[in-house]
Amino acid sequence: RASSNGKPPKFQPPPKPVIIDRKTQKEERRFLSPEFIPPRGRTDPLKYYIERKDMIQRRKVFNIPEFYVGSVLAVTTADPYANDKSNRFVGICIQRGGKGLGATFVLRNVIEDQGVEICYELYSPQIQAIEVLKLEKRLDENLMYLRDALPEYSTFDVNMKPVPRMDHEEIPVNKLQVRMKPKPWSKRWERPKYNIKGIKFELPEHKMKAAQKWSQPWLEFDMLREYDTSKIEEKIRKELREELEK
Amino acid sequence: ERIETPWARADEMRGYAERLIDYAKRGDKDERAMRMADFWLTEKDLIHKLFKVLAPRFQPHPGSYTRLLQIPNRDGLDRAKMAVIELKGNPLPPLVRPRRDSDKTLLNQLLRGYRQDAQRAA
């Protein structure tokens, strides 16, 4: 700036850069795979401890990425009868089941107008690679209703490129409301027992009201059904951290 | 504070009562705690007692807040197995009188002798 006095302008130091501490935020948001959490029961915790050790051993050798129900994955398994001895399948994860080493996930895709669902085991040695093409969450934990939805919601390109994701950002929640094929469905998804939020119900009002007849409002107040996993999760996270650092 | 019911009913109720007190310990302002208390306690003045009297009483204790004791069978035709379930720390007279060991057991006699020797030496 031209000075009015004739003296050189007063030195103004540049504004200090604002350092956003990303590391502490990253520590708090940690993903714990749901198969690590032991189910509620009277079995010896030793069994779960041994299983966890085996799971960690497998994870050290083979990387199982973080994914949720509703994210698109590509899995290559070993196939003795294929030309390349490997088989690649791309699909959307509709459910994750099982605990411990038997943890499974079901991938769904529609190939040449035929819906295909394959249930893979996470810790199976036949799996050679798992790649997350699109990491996102959906409104429900179980997307089995995609079987009764229009096929366009389950089709995913087999040669899809992985969607680039900003590192360590929030996982996007896809609030997609899926349109269904005309009734009859394989399960009565409008009933409150399934508690589905991701369907755009185009049923008439009286049908929706009739479905509410099966609602059990006392179920949310039933205290003995609750399973508080916060302390268990903390212990397991600590264990995982220690083991993976070795 | 104390109630006499069939044993099965009391046993089932025990889990729910203790979880309700755990919810009450979270505090009056907690939305979920208030909804739970509102659902389970049909007599609304008991909600006040839960949050103002029982929650502070059991604040230091981490675990069991109830005591379940069996009673002779019911007098009617069904002869049901009855039990008394009570909250610990209640103001009513105690059900169980803690019996101290009699003075004539071997261990107590030996301890008495040891105490007397110590007093004589001192």
pLDDT digits (tens, 9 = 90+) for B52-76: 888 889 999 888 899 999 999 888 8
Q: Which residues of A touch B40 (CB under 8 A)?
A: 221
Q: Which residues of A touch B39 (CB under 8 A)?
A: 218, 221
Question: Nearest-CA residue of chain B relative to A221?
Answer: B36
Q: What is the mean pLDDT of residues A5-13?
A: 73
pLDDT of residue B29: 86
Q: What is the mean pLDDT of residues B80-103?
A: 88
pTM for this predicted structure: 0.77
Chain A to chain B, count of Cβ pairs less than 8 Å apart?
15
Q: Which residues of B touch A218 (CB under 8 A)?
A: 39
Q: What's the CATH number where B38 sits?
A: 3.90.1030.10
* pLDDT tens digits, A58-98: 999 988 888 999 999 999 999 889 888 899 999 999 999 88
Question: Nearest-CA residue of chain A relative to B41?
Answer: A221
For residue B121, being part of any structural domain is answered with no
pLDDT of residue A110: 93
Higher pLDDT, B99 or A42: A42
pLDDT of residue A16: 76
CA distance A154 to A179: 12
Task: Verify whether the Cβ–Cβ distance B15 to A224 is below 8 Å.
Answer: yes
Task: Verify whether the Cβ–Cβ distance A221 to B35 is below 8 Å.
Answer: yes
Q: Which residues of A touch B19 (CB under 8 A)?
A: 223-224, 226
For residue B99, being part of any structural domain is answered with no
For residue B111, being part of any structural domain is answered with no
With a cut of 60, say whether residue A136 has pLDDT above it: yes
- Calculate what percentage of chain B has a pLDDT beyond 90: 41
B6 band by pLDDT with thresholds 50, 70 and 90: very high
Does the beta carbon of B42 lie under 8 angstroms from any beta carbon of chain A?
no
Which structural domain, as residue segments, surrounds residue B67? 2-94
Q: Which residues pair with A120 in a beta bridge?
A: A105
- Residue A13's region, left for phi above 0, alpha for psi from -120 to 50, else beta, is beta
Number of domains in chain B: 1
Does the beta carbon of B13 lie under 8 angstroms from any beta carbon of chain A?
no
pLDDT of residue B84: 93
User: How close does chain B come to A221, measured CA to CA in Å?
Assistant: 6
Q: Between B19, B36, B39, which is nearest A224 by CB?
A: B19
- Calculate what percentage of chain A has a pLDDT beyond 70: 91
User: How close does chain B come to A24, measured CA to CA in Å?
Assistant: 28
pLDDT of residue A109: 94
Write down the mean pLDDT value for chain A.
86
DSSP state at residue B94? P
B47 backbone dihedrals φ, ψ, rounded to 5°: -60, -45
Class of CATH domain A62-215: mainly beta
A1 band by pLDDT with thresholds 50, 70 and 90: low
Count Cβ atoms within 10 A of the Cβ of residue A237 and give its class: 0-12 exposed, 13-18 middle, 19 or more buried.
middle
User: How close does chain A come to B78, measured CA to CA in Å?
Assistant: 29
For residue B119, being part of any structural domain is answered with no
Q: Are strands A127-134 and A72-78 parallel, antiparallel or unpaired?
A: antiparallel
User: How close does chain B come to A223, measured CA to CA in Å?
Assistant: 7
For residue B107, being part of any structural domain is answered with no
* pLDDT tens digits, A13-42: 777 777 666 655 555 557 888 899 999 989
CA distance A155 to A158: 9
pLDDT of residue B12: 92
With a cut of 80, say whether residue B48 has pLDDT above it: yes
pLDDT of residue A72: 93
Write down the mean pLDDT value for chain B.
90
For residue B89, being part of any structural domain is answered with yes
Task: Verify whether the Cβ–Cβ distance B16 to A224 is below 8 Å.
Answer: yes
pLDDT of residue A121: 92
Give the position of tokens 């185009």. A202
Residues of chain A that touch chain B, judged by Cβ-Cβ distance less than 8 Å: 218, 221, 223-224, 226
With a cut of 60, say whether residue A192 has pLDDT above it: yes
Q: What is the mean pLDDT of residues A107-134?
A: 92
pLDDT of residue B83: 93
> What's the sign of the alpha-carbon dihedral B100, B105, B107, B110?
positive
- Calculate what percentage of chain A has a pLDDT beyond 90: 37
Q: Which of B19, B34, B41, B50 is the mutation pick for testing A, counting most A CBs within 10 A? A: B19
Task: Verify whether the Cβ–Cβ distance B16 to A221 is below 8 Å.
Answer: no
Which of A6-20, A200-214, B7-21 is predicted with the least confidence, judged by mean pLDDT? A6-20
Which of A6-20, A185-199, B101-115 is predicted with the least confidence, judged by mean pLDDT? A6-20
Q: Between A221, A224, A226, which is nearest B39 by CB?
A: A221
pLDDT of residue A22: 61
ipTM: 0.72
With a cut of 70, say whether residue A118 has pLDDT above it: yes
pLDDT of residue A19: 67
